[in-house]
Amino acid sequence: MIIQNFIFWPLFFLVSLIYIPVATAIVATVSLFVSSRTAMWLTRRAISCYGQLVLLCSWPPGRVQYRDLAPQDGGGPFLFVCNHRSASDPFLMACLPYECIQIVKQWPFRLPVLGFMARLAGYLSIHDMPIESFYRKASKLYNERVCIISFPEGTRSGSREMGPFTSAVFRLAHTLGATIVPLAIMGNENIPPKGSFMLHPGRVRVHKLPALKWEDYKDMSIFSLKNYVRDLLAEHMGPEGLNT
């Protein structure tokens, strides 16, 4: 554990100090000469690349494994519904081979530089805008074939036990007629533990489960849908969250 932290944190700060200013300068410059859609795509790619670099800082390599258990579902767009175990969850989304944005709380927008990048990329905060604006912006992104990532627990559980799901993202799914994809995150509840910055060794897995299309859930209530998706994730992860 000591070796892992000794390697990760210096690399993390080094990558952040170099990559974030350089990527921000490049995105800001290129955005002056391209369409807003292209600028947003470039920003999302820059954020994804940053997440991939952060994952590469972990030791040993190969500790984060992504598996698509339903490749037949195609390339989206999807509304990803994820369980939330750790502060590292947003970085793990760099595993997804899609153009994505995340639904986040207010605090990421307050970060220097990263907040600017998140806004430019089109990240959404349901707490920062009227619900009608949230649905309108989400609909525009989805129609542009941008995948939307959500963590309906609202806050990290810090353990293998999922908290209750909120309803907002499932109301959004009904509004959009979106294809819902459950995304199971396993093994990172101690990377880092809640209330600590100390990373514990462990193998992290991100599993993309089969999609729920509009036809599969259109007759479900919001309450039934959120519990159904939560049950799908819980069943896949098993009682100890070690389903392979």
**Helix runs in 31-125, H state only:** 36-56, 89-92, 114-121
pLDDT beneath 50: ranges in the chain: 62, 240-244
For residue 80 the two structure tokens come to 């990803």
Closest CA to 49 of 109, 135, 117: 117
Q: What is the Cα–Cα distance from 218 to 137, expressed in whole angstroms?
A: 22
Segment holding 81, helix H or strand E: strand 79-82
Residue type (1 letter), 236: H
229, 81 Cβ separation under 8 angstroms: yes
| pLDDT tens per residue, range 67-114 | 999 999 988 899 999 999 888 898 999 999 999 999 988 777 777 777
Q: Which CATH number fits domain 63-237: 3.40.640.10, 3.30.70.270, 3.40.1130.10, 1.20.1250.20?
A: 3.40.1130.10
pLDDT for the residue numbered 233? 95
pLDDT for the residue numbered 103? 92
